[in-house]
């Protein structure tokens, strides 16, 4: 069985544009790493045997703006979540769950084990200790994203 592959920027852009129905610019970016003053969401994907085979980390901007775009939430409210509140609303978190669920398709390439969303950690939520070490794995793709009408964020895809 072959391994999960990291998607290209074009694949990420196409997937996000399809989700949010807006122009999304995806370019190389810095790694998304959670710190006390930089909350990130962490989506955990598993194979059929329940082993972790991919992670998606999004900073608050990427989390709020992809969720807002999908759920057609007002951009101002999403920008407030990023710039003032420092956390997502319940509706934004619900929409983000759907975003990261759909993003699992990025890892489902021919020959790779099937990936499905197992858990979404909200921005700032403490990640299970066994996952914390995987967040800094070197097999990763790091992107800066800019969602038309919403704003900028950062997204990292990690293969443990």
Q: Is the pTM of this model over 0.75?
A: yes
Handedness of CA 157, 141, 61, 74 (dihedral sign): negative
Domain parsing of the chain, residue ranges: 9-30+38-158
- pLDDT given at position 2: 57
pLDDT averages per 10-residue partition of the chain, 160 residues: 84 97 97 91 97 96 98 97 96 98 95 95 92 89 98 96
Structure tokens, 93 = 């978190």
Topology of domain 9-30+38-158, per CATH? Chemotaxis protein chec (3.40.1550)
Rounded to the nearest 5 percent, the helix, strand and coil shares of the chain are 40, 30, 35
């Amino acid at each position: 069985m072959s391994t999960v592959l990291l998607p290209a920027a074009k694949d990420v852009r196409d997937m996000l544009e399809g989700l949010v129905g807006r122009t999304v610019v995806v370019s190389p970016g810095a790694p998304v790493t959670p710190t006390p003053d930089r909350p990130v969401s962490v989506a955990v994907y598993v194979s059929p045997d329940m082993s972790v085979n991919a992670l998606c980390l999004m900073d608050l901007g990427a989390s709020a703006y992809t969720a807002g775009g999908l759920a057609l939430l007002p951009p101002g409210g999403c920008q407030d979540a990023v710039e003032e509140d420092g956390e997502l609303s319940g509706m934004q978190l619900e929409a983000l769950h759907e975003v990261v669920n759909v993003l699992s398709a990025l890892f489902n390439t021919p020959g790779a084990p099937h990936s499905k969303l197992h858990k979404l950690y909200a921005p700032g939520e403490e990640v299970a200790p066994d996952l914390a070490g995987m967040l800094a794995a070197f097999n990763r793709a790091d992107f800066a994203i800019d969602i038309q009408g919403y704003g900028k964020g950062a997204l990292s895809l990690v293969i443990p």
